[in-house]
Amino acid sequence: MSEYRIQGNTGEWEVVIGLEVHAQITSESKLFSGSSTGFGAEPNSHVSLVDAAMPGMLPVPNRECLRQAVRTGMAINAQINRWSRFDRKNYFYADLPQGYQISQLYHPIVGEGEIEVTLNEKDPDSPTKKIGIERIHVEQDAGKLMHDQHPTMSFVDLNRSGVALMEIVSRPDIGSPQEAGAYLKKLRSILRYVGSCDGNMEQGSMRADVNVSVRKPGGELGTRTETKNVNSIRFMMQAIEYEAQRQVDLIESGGAVVQETRLFDPNKMETRSMRSKEDAHDYRYFPDPDLLPVELDDAFLEECRASLPELPDAKRTRYEALGLTAYNAAVLTAEAETAFWFEDLLAEGVDAKQASNWLMSELFGALNKLGKTLDESPVNPKQAAELLGLVADGTISGSIAKQVFEIMLETKQGASAIVEEKGLKQTNDTGAIEAEIAKIMAANEDKVTEYRSGKDKLFGFFVGQTMKAMQGKANPGVVNQLLKAKLG
């Protein structure tokens, strides 16, 4: 898609990137226990006997978590494995009560799929690229260590212990930081559409492990490093840029890249080594003997498929068919919330083009100024539809609508009430408009002469003057018609 190359002393280098994205599955309770997954609770308040791995406790799979993983797989056209299994990944750490993480190494629930990304999703001409997905598997999250609670001890918070994650593993098909960013954005958008993950990177609902290697264009794959737990798209792009450059510099100065795990420090904008392959854990994966294999039947798969919403690519095509520009269709579908807002307007009877233009110019502009997101919009789709309806039926003009909208944002009053109260109704009274036109023509005889001798552009001047004289309330169509007749 993009020819991203690093210029080294020995020539050009190509970057090969693969992402492992951990996405917290949206569910009320944890993967193997009934504890709440709520964010921000008092430490250790969402911990069951199972989460604390008390003796004799057993995991019971939460079907909803598996359902969300399957729906996500279907959304990326992936192979759904009717038979999958949980494995134990064994290692000791204080945030891991069982002494193992229940994950899926050998038989993941979702197999190969793909995601199509565009470098600039808002540009219909931007080239696209398919990024392969190797697998999606389901696993438990760990707890959290707190090192700032006591001078000599670390505390453990197990609220996150056992929360369900999907690990979405891409193929090393990504060739630049921009592609990686586009991939993560698209993936996030799909997850939010499907409703399987809220995509909230600040709260840690989504984080990426970034595998990076470099090679001479088309050459053998280089040794890769894995940068763990990057929690924003921007940081991920920076980490790739830094890491690729570091590897090129290292190789060109006679060194060799070591297969290792690294961490990204967003303050210093650099990655640094966490542990090398030599001290990599031997996780002793084996099938979890507490759990039976997961077998999915037709009815379950059917329900998963039937419950899938229309996905961004399909929506975009449909919006274009409604008469929207490719650009508008792309912007409106990039985030699920925007598309849902737009569709709410249509459901209220607003014309598609009118709705998309208003959303993208008026609403986005206003929210931008207020520093609010769409979710926090002071005006809801129903209220907006009322306003747009007044424009559509000729009650008010577009420019009056802007004024009304501003009042709505401030006072949260309904559009009709504002129009009524302020007397903003548009007039079709030709007599009144003709009177104003006569005054304006009398006051601007020179311009009338110029117009009549061929300076067509002056027509706008007369429209502006008339509208101004009518305080914006004249029907612009009527104004145009009358002016054309009078000016000749």
Partner 1 sequence: MTDFSRLGVAAIRDGVANGEFKAVEVAEALNTRVAAAKALNAFIVETPEMAVAAAQAVDADRAAGKPLGKMAGVPIGMKDLFCTEGVQTTAASHMLEGFVPTYESTVSANLWKAGAGMLGKLNLDQFAMGSSNETSYFGNVISPWRRNDGGNAALAPGGSSGGSSSAIAARLCPAATGTDTGGSIRQPAAFVGISGIKPTYGRCSRWGIVAFASSLDQAGPMARDVRDCAIMLEAMAGFDPKDPTSLDLPVPAWEAGLNSDLKGKRIGIPREYRLDGIDEDIAKMWDNGIAWLKDAGAEIVDISLPHTKYALPAYYIIAPAEASSNLARFDGVRFGLRDLPEGAGLQDMYAATRAAGFGEEVRRRIMIGTYVLSAGFYDAYYTQAQKVRALIARDFENAWASCDLILAPTTPSAAFGLGEKNADPLSMYLNDVFAVPASLAGLPAMSVPGGLDKQGLPLGLQIIGKALDEQAVLNAGLAIEERSGFTAEAGEWW
- Name the residue nearer to partner 1 (CB basis): 285 or 461: 285
Report CA Rg, the chain: 30
Question: Which residue is it, tokens 């993983």?
Answer: 69
CA-to-CA distance for 165 and 113, rounded, in angstroms?
18
CA-to-CA distance for 183 and 185, rounded, in angstroms?
5
Instruction: Look at strands 11-24 and 164-170 and give their pairing.
Output: antiparallel
Question: What residues line the site for partner 1 (CB under 8 A)?
Answer: 49, 52-61, 88, 90, 92-94, 97-100, 154, 156, 282, 284-286, 288-292
- Name the residue nearer to partner 1 (CB basis): 99 or 127: 99
CA-to-CA distance for 319 and 331, rounded, in angstroms?
11
- Name the residue nearer to partner 1 (CB basis): 49 or 370: 49
C-alpha dihedral sign at 175, 176, 177, 183:
negative
- Name the residue nearer to partner 1 (CB basis): 285 or 327: 285
CB of 356 to partner 1, least distance (A): 50
Question: Which residue is it, tokens 């009322």?
Answer: 386
CB of 286 to partner 1, least distance (A): 5
CB of 49 to partner 1, least distance (A): 6
CB of 61 to partner 1, least distance (A): 7
CB of 107 to partner 1, least distance (A): 14
CA-to-CA distance for 174 and 260, rounded, in angstroms?
20
Q: Give the helix/strand (H/E) hosting 71.
A: helix 63-75
DSSP state of 429: -
- Name the residue nearer to partner 1 (CB basis): 139 or 436: 139
- Name the residue nearer to partner 1 (CB basis): 292 or 370: 292
And the tokens for 140? 């438990």
- Name the residue nearer to partner 1 (CB basis): 100 or 235: 100
CA dihedral (227, 16, 130, 179) in degrees, to 10, reads 60
Alpha carbon distances (Å) from 126 to 93, 246, 356:
46, 30, 21
CB of 71 to partner 1, least distance (A): 22
CB of 39 to partner 1, least distance (A): 23
- Name the residue nearer to partner 1 (CB basis): 283 or 340: 283
And the tokens for 127? 């080239």
Sheet bearing 87-90, strands edge to edge: 100-103, 87-90, 286-287
Instruction: Look at strands 260-265 and 225-230 and give their pairing.
Output: parallel
- Name the residue nearer to partner 1 (CB basis): 54 or 485: 54
CB of 27 to partner 1, least distance (A): 17
CB of 11 to partner 1, least distance (A): 38
Q: 434: Cβ–Cβ under 8 A, 6 or more apart, which residues?
A: 482, 486
- Name the residue nearer to partner 1 (CB basis): 105 or 469: 105
CB of 195 to partner 1, least distance (A): 26
CB of 321 to partner 1, least distance (A): 48
CB of 58 to partner 1, least distance (A): 5
Could you please report the per-residue DSSP string of 244-267? Answer: HHHHHHHHHTT--PPPEEEEEETT
- Name the residue nearer to partner 1 (CB basis): 2 or 90: 90
- Name the residue nearer to partner 1 (CB basis): 164 or 385: 164
Q: 425: Cβ–Cβ under 8 A, 6 or more apart, which residues?
A: 395, 396, 419, 473
Q: 107: Cβ–Cβ under 8 A, 6 or more apart, which residues?
A: 81, 83, 84, 85, 293
CA-to-CA distance for 19 and 264, rounded, in angstroms?
15
87 close to 98: Cβ distance less than 8 angstroms: no
